[in-house]
Amino acid sequence: MSTLLRGRMDRSAYVALLRNLQAIYAALEPALRRHAAHPALAALHDPALARSESLRDDLAVVDSGARADDPVQPATLRYVERLRELDAERPELLLAHAYVRYLGDLSGGQLLSGIVARSLGLPSGRGVAFYDFGDADATAALAGTFRHGLATAVIDDEDAVVAEARLAFEWHRRLFEELAAAHGLATDAA
């Protein structure tokens, strides 16, 4: 993430990041739709949040297919497995994953859009749809609605939701470590 933030990530590493995020959203978003009426999730359900399509569009722009055979990372496979478990058994905990992903995209993600476009030399306005939630007001409104949805969500076990969010952050940390190693980027732990 610091390499990305400093505008020093090369295209193949960025494509790998998008492919792994694509696998995560491909498990998360259908599960959230399936449980859209769940009392813990109903207030969060907003099609404007969905990222799967924008990820596919961005990959069509940035992915030269150079490392097309690269598998998704083990951390991503574990993450997807967990999302499937929750979809089947504990949909309430999907709230934690919606929080970590969407509120992150609506926050720091807004900083990354310009950095990515410049550092990868992307044609203006293309290849960064993943960060695009509309103009600044629309993005702030979505973040506000999401926070309100968090505050009003009907949750049986808040500690379990918090523990799940920590797990989600931990899997992201592992994913970034694995991607850094796979793309020869120094890991912060080094």
Residues near ligand HEM (CB under 6 A) are: 1, 4-5, 99-100, 103-104, 107-108, 111-112, 172
The least distance separating ligand HEM from the CB of residue 105, rounded to whole angstroms, comes to: 8
Of all residues in the shown chain, the one whose CB is closest to ligand HEM is 108
Give dist(CA 130, CA 58) in Å, integer: 7
Closest approach of ligand HEM to the CB of residue 31, in Å: 17
Question: Of 62 and 112, which CB lies nearer to ligand HEM in the complex structure?
Answer: 112
> How many angstroms from the chain centroid is the CA of residue 186?
22
**In terms of CB distance, is 151 or 190 closer to ligand HEM?**
151
Secondary structure class of 154 (helix, strand, coil): coil
Nearer to ligand HEM, 71 or 104 (CB): 104
Cβ closest to ligand HEM, residue 2 vs residue 68: 2
Smallest gap from residue 46 Cβ to ligand HEM (A): 16
**Closest Cα to residue 72, out of 189, 179, 148, 166?**
179
What whole-number distance in Å separates Cα of residue 190 and Cα of residue 175?
Answer: 16
C-alpha to C-alpha distances, 2 to 60, 90, 104, nearest whole angstrom: 25, 34, 15
In the bound complex, what is the minimum distance in angstroms from residue 69's beta carbon to ligand HEM? 26
Residue 34 DSSP one-character state: H
